[in-house]
Homo-oligomer: A and B are copies of this chain.
Amino acid sequence: VHVAASSKDAEFARVPRDDEAEWSEAPAYVHFTSNNTIFGTEFAAPPRTPEGPFLACDASSDIFSRPIEVERYGLVYAGAQKNLGPAGLTVVIVRDDLLEPPVRELPTMLRYRTHAEQKSMYNTPPVFGVYVMGRVLRWMLAQGGLAEMARRNEEKAAALYAVLDRGEFYRPFAHPDSRSRMNVTFTTPSPELDALFVQEAAARGLDGLKGHRSVGGMRASIYNAFPRAGCDALAQFMTDFEKKHG
């Protein structure tokens, strides 16, 4: 693996810029993860890549949160558990030419070709998960499709970032151009207030706000299924908490 670009120096608070990438000689593919759930960063658009290698994307945590230009990708894969349905299945979108025999020997089950040829029925599929995902996809279509999902997710995230940007009390973790619409990460002025925030929020029914242990602070995960009303309630709580403790 050649790491073409990293924002480690910036503590992963932003996604790498296109002009930072240093490509290897003849890459076979370029892989990126479109949304980072831990740091709360997201690519607004896929990275620009050299001619030749195909683009592969782990879209597990923001798939179907907005339309993507699917023709730009060779491979998109996404675990269902964030935006699609129960954990236990993975959606794969793969370009036909990438289904050709693999360059090295792979177990049968690990070849996308196997699953494409058998129409995803090579093994006994996880029927319940597939069924629920089907219902979720129909729900998305009924709501207005991915364009409407994108509009709602923009609004939901904006309601929270507006509070974070309003004063000095809250510190948003991600740089403005790299902000995730799925995971909003932030801190208060102190770890003690962070802990109190999580505790008082939970008492008001706003649960699961503790940040990932590797970064601390708070994280509001607002995937497709999370309603606008929940974001508004959190924004109101944030305002109240700032008044009380700021």
Contact = CB atoms under 8 A, between A and B. Distances in A.
Interface of A: 79, 81, 86-89, 106-107, 110, 124-129
A38 B79 CA distance: 33
Contacts of A127: 86-88
A215 to B, nearest CB: 20
Count the copies: 2
Given A88-B128, A110-B110, 17 more contacts: A79-B124, A81-B124, A86-B126, A86-B128, A87-B124, A87-B125, A87-B127, A88-B88, A88-B89, A88-B125, A88-B129, A89-B126, A107-B107, A107-B110, A126-B126, A128-B128, A128-B129
Contacts of A79: 124
Nearest to A88: B126
Contacts of A88: 88-89, 125-129
25 contacts: A79-B124, A81-B124, A86-B127, A86-B128, A87-B124, A87-B125, A87-B126, A87-B127, A87-B128, A88-B88, A88-B89, A88-B125, A88-B126, A88-B127, A88-B128, A88-B129, A89-B126, A106-B107, A107-B107, A107-B110, A110-B110, A126-B126, A126-B129, A128-B129, A129-B129
A126 B128 CA distance: 11
A79 B127 CA distance: 13
Contacts of A106: 107
A128 B125 CA distance: 14
A57 to B, nearest CB: 18
Contacts of A81: 124
Pick from A79, A88, A124, A125 the residue with the most CB of B within 10 Å: A88
A110 B111 CA distance: 13
Nearest to A125: B87
A38 B87 CA distance: 30
Nearest to A82: B124
